[in-house]
Structure 1
Amino acid sequence: MSTPPLLEIPEILLLVAHFLPQCTLLSCTSVSKLWYQTLRPLAWQEVHLGRFASRQPFLKTVLKHKDYIKSLHISSNSFQDSSLSPQTWKTVLQLHNIQSLLIEKVSFEEEYSIYCLWDLCERVERLEWSLVFIASKSDLESRSFSHIRELHLNGDFTGFDEVHVMSQCPNLQSLVWPSGLYWGKPIDRFVQLAAKGTWPALESITKANYRTSDDQQALVLGSMRRVTGWSARVFGPKSFQVLRGHWATIKTLELSMCRSSATTAMLQEILTSCPLLEQLQWGLAHAADLVSDRPWACTRLRTLKMSVMFRHDENESLQPLLFERLSELTALEMLDLGKPPIASTWEDADDEGNNNDDTASTLANGIIPFKQSVDLRVGRGLEKLATMRSMRVLFFQDTTQQMSRNDVAWMLTHWPKLRAVNGKLNLDDDILYDLSMLLARTGVCYYK
């Protein structure tokens, strides 16, 4: 029987390096010549440059390793006086192999800096910006960002037409647009451009905050040949009908802000029709609608955010069935059963059209909890979730829980990857303190 060959030292270094942060990798390159030669390509894949960056490398050192740099992060710690020096831009323009560009808190006011920005955008496949100010559209019309496949625009205070930038990305596949939080011509023009086929490869729009009608949502969806990700503040029958044709490919659905326009029937169809779904964000859901006869198809879910509502006296009968369904989500990493973003109390939820006749009870301390929340205790169904070995984050904010040490210990035992818990574990402050200390001692971040 032959003995397998031993790994060479460079191979071992590279295997270990993939688990180390970049700052550690950079330090490791100074250990020896062998370590330097082996780790240099990996250590210099990503560079952070900025006038106020705390660990800004010397520009000469950056140029020395320019062939290895694939990801560039340009930022400042303050939006005030955040323009970069001409020497920094000259260095950046010599990075010919970058594929990803992240810019935050940077002001582009001089013509030269704006020219440099668009020049970089023409090279990269992934562009993300946040809190970026661009003084003019100078030189933008003549540009084509044909390499960009993934675009994250979180402008907030840009004062710039982000739709114009999108229109220069003919091969765009993924759009993340949390800053589109306004009505008017930019949004209307975005819908018009999509309907005209401006982005034939576009298949994912997520974190979208822009407000449109159901008709407009249907137009955008109708322009997409394949949909893998979708986010909306409005989700009505027309857009749902178009999305139906993409159940086989959809991986991300963010619909927690859709209020009453997202119906129970829609939720049931999504749960039972989307085999590749990995992330689902919903608003309020009635427990009875989650335990229907049809089995869930979305067993690949990694993130589930959903506020579950029980009517009076339903917990005993429906909760075991609900936990049984949840136990099928063996890949789940994040479970949020807390308060929905669309309602401050259950009375608000009723106003949103959820057809609940019950009245919310007020606790002695003034907290208005869910009428009847999911009871996260052993003996009430929690033990069924032992299948969720990948669970990392559990949220149940503004629900009423009565957990004991036994319940928290069960989570720590059966969810070995658990890293964060958010929600009031128990209404008794002394018990709550004891349970929070139990979590803290095992390295789990807890906040209520």
Structure 2
Amino acid sequence: MSTNSSDLTSCSKVFALPEICERISYSIDNKTITSCLRVNREWNASWLPILWHTIDAGHQWHNPAFVNALGEHGDLVRILKCTRYDDISPLLRTDKTICRNLVTIVLPKTTLVNQSDHIQLLRQNPHIRDLSLGLHDDNASLYTELVNAVGELRNLRRLALDENKILDVNTLETILSKCNGSLRELSLKGTYFIKHPFGSGNGFASGFLACSKSESQLGTELITNDVEIDSKETFGIMSLCLEGVVCTQDLILNLASRFPLLSHLSLKGSMEVYFSKNFPERLAKRCPKIKNIDISSTEDIDDDTIASLVGSFPGLQTFRASETRFGNESFSTLVEHCRDLTVLEINSTCQIQGQVIQQLFEKCWALRSLDAWDVSANVVEMMMEVYGGGKTVGATDAKNRVTVDGSITQTESSLKNIRGQWVCRGIERLVLRFDYDPSELSEESEQLYPASRARRFIYEQLSKLTKLKYLAIGGTLSTTWQMCGRGDETDEKDNSTLDDQPTFDISDDIWIDFSLRSGLFLLSPLKELRTLCLSAMDHAIGLPEIIWISENWPNLKSIEGLYEDDDEDVVNWLRENRPDIEIRNEDDGY
């Protein structure tokens, strides 16, 4: 079949736009990109820079074909990633200077043997913005020229000195001083600081140090009078990453004393870090601008200390505490003090009371992402928080003249003071499990909050989150409750308050299963939804449901947790009628 020349010309003009090629490149592999650049000269000019933009070289340096190709196209490379023991000497020992436009470099481990090659590569790329550097087990003073070469990088924004076994105070001081005009991010991942030349960082600290009595001498006494001594130069570091380190709290505080502009602190996976009661207060005194904290998988930090940490930083916007002892006290403090919170990750943390989660949705209007898998939200507790244990669904807020089901649209500012409303209408990602357990309910509470009403409460609140792009929820219903056969009388009572609503089955043995009979149609406003995760729930999505989903969620691109063996008709229908929706069969949790 011949190709019309005018069509080819039009196509070439479109692909001459770098932005379009870049967007397309995110979804295709290098082999496909290579095929594209062979179509004609115009396509070659558009796709070649994308193919060579990032080189993850591995152990290819002694491959003549690879080195020759780099010699021809090296000036197109912007990101060069090397492995720990790569030898880049073949790249540099050529007649032509190549790779001179790099902005990101991950260097191999630097030794006295390869130091000159690393220095040459740095000096022929003065516009580097992101550098990862590691020093071998030798005296740090032997790397003076390398440190000077790093200090000459006037555009350097991020420096990673991960897993360095010989980093000392003078080396860090020299680099930071020379790069202070541009450097904003510092990473010290994976370093065993307890037996390390840098130690606790006492020699680096400035401005605020502990008073003369040590914490061990004071025992449980609080240290409150930090004193100012020996003021040193402060640095413009805004992001400090101490992931996977073994250190003392003094190291964190002593580093922080030189970084007053710090806004992002990551202690993810840190070990053997024991925090005193006043550690959060002392950290906040040094770095009052912190807005993003990550303590995920951090050992030896209890709920009280986490609560004190979040309470010390009321301006927090992002907080990650997955796989920690984050609990009710931390959650309550977060809700009360951090109203600007946008991102919260508390996967696999301690049991959280349902009313605290309800308060989060009621008060934190800026929330954009909540990841709380393996955190059980008791829906009855949430409803008791809303209705005070006595109000019924559909109750009206007299002051604002708004029903709890949100039938009257309100502005964001007015919603903040309405009890029961989820004001976080801008949330885009929600990962949470809603449980219904009647075992602890009184007979009166069982009548007020039957499973059918609790399920409807969740569906109706979710329906207001019209900016949702990722939804992964689950629901657990007590087996005993299902076997009792209760709920017939209360279901009739429920129907009496839902006269104007669409008809659906509200029996108590149906929980949140995304079936039409359980009220899936209530979620029709979620037009922006991109991904629906069903991996961790017993869903009941059949052909009617999948057809409804296809018609009502036009932007849906992925469904996780549909298994062909169990959902053969649904999967086949999607493949035939909506091939644009990706079906992910693996159970990824969320």
**Partners of 2:574 and 2:558 in 1: how far apart?**
9
- Encode CA deviations 1:141-175: one digit per residue, 9 max, x unaligned: 54427555556776499985578596575543334
The question of 1:272 aligning with 2:362 is answered yes
The question of 1:414 aligning with 2:549 is answered no
**Partners of 1:134 and 1:360 in 2: how far apart?**
57
**Partners of 1:331 and 1:153 in 2: how far apart?**
37
Distance 1:332 1:13, change over 3 A: same
1:98 alignment partner in structure 2: 128
2:293 alignment partner in structure 1: 205
What SS class does the counterpart of residue 433 from structure 2 fall into? Answer: strand
Alignment of 1:306-345 (within 5 A): 306-311=432-437, 314-338=450-474
**Partners of 2:464 and 2:148 in 1: how far apart?**
47
Deviation at 1:329, TM superposition (A): 1.3
Q: CA RMSD in A?
A: 4.9
Distance 1:415 1:170, change over 3 A: same
> Which residue of the other structure, out of 359, 381, 403, is the alignment partner of 2:519?
381
The question of 1:21 aligning with 2:25 is answered yes
Alignment of 1:46-445 (within 5 A): 46-51=54-59, 60=71, 64-65=75-76, 69=78, 73-75=81-83, 83=109, 86=115, 87=117, 90-92=120-122, 94-100=124-130, 108-109=136-137, 119=150, 124-126=156-158, 133-138=163-168, 139-144=171-176, 147=182, 149=184, 155=190, 161=246, 167=256, 171-180=261-270, 182-185=271-274, 194-197=283-286, 199-206=287-294, 208-211=296-299, 212-224=301-313, 226-232=315-321, 233=324, 234-237=326-329, 240-241=332-333, 244-247=336-339, 249-260=340-351, 262-282=352-372, 283-290=375-382, 292=386, 293=404, 294-311=420-437, 314-338=450-474, 373-423=511-561, 431-439=566-574, 442=579, 443-445=582-584
Distance 1:311 1:415, change over 3 A: same
Q: Is the 8 A contact 1:278 1:302 kept in 2?
A: yes
Q: Which runs of 5+ in 2 are unaligned?
A: 1-9, 87-107, 193-242, 387-403, 405-419, 439-445, 484-508
Distance 1:225 1:88, change over 3 A: same
Q: How many residues align?
A: 403
Letter in 2 for 1:20: I
Deviation at 1:228, TM superposition (A): 0.9
Letter in 2 for 1:210: T
**Partners of 2:148 and 2:55 in 1: how far apart?**
16
Name which of structure 1's ranges 275-284 and 155-164 shifts more when overlaid on structure 2. Answer: 155-164
Distance 1:324 1:238, change over 3 A: closer
Distance 1:20 1:11, change over 3 A: closer
Q: Is the 8 A contact 2:245 2:269 kept in 1?
A: no
Distance 1:194 1:438, change over 3 A: farther
Taking every aligned residue pair, what percent have the same amino acid on both sides? 18
**Partners of 2:50 and 2:367 in 1: how far apart?**
33
- Encode CA deviations 1:207-245: one digit per residue, 9 max, x unaligned: 622142344334433553621101233245367436633
**Partners of 1:140 and 1:257 in 2: how far apart?**
36
Bigger radius of gyration among the two: 2
Which protein, 1 or 2, shows the higher relative CO under an 8 Å CA cutoff with sep ≥ 6? 1
**Partners of 2:520 and 2:56 in 1: how far apart?**
44
**Partners of 2:159 and 2:511 in 1: how far apart?**
41
TM-score, length-scaled by structure 1: 0.69
Name which of structure 1's ranges 215-224 and 322-331 shifts more when overlaid on structure 2. Answer: 215-224
Q: Is the 8 A contact 1:52 1:76 kept in 2?
A: no
**Partners of 1:444 and 1:187 in 2: how far apart?**
48
What SS class does the counterpart of residue 409 from structure 1 fall into? Answer: helix
Q: Which runs of 5+ in 1 are unaligned?
A: 1-5, 340-345, 347-355, 363-370
Distance 1:436 1:239, change over 3 A: closer
Distance 1:34 1:409, change over 3 A: closer
What SS class does the counterpart of residue 517 from structure 2 fall into? Answer: coil
What SS class does the counterpart of residue 324 from structure 1 fall into? Answer: helix
1:352 alignment partner in structure 2: none
Deviation at 1:90, TM superposition (A): 3.6
What SS class does the counterpart of residue 471 from structure 2 fall into? Answer: strand
Distance 1:205 1:214, change over 3 A: same
- Encode CA deviations 1:193-217: one digit per residue, 9 max, x unaligned: 62441x3432112362214234433
Deviation at 1:295, TM superposition (A): 1.0
What SS class does the counterpart of residue 304 from structure 1 fall into? Answer: strand
What SS class does the counterpart of residue 316 from structure 1 fall into? Answer: helix
Distance 1:92 1:331, change over 3 A: farther
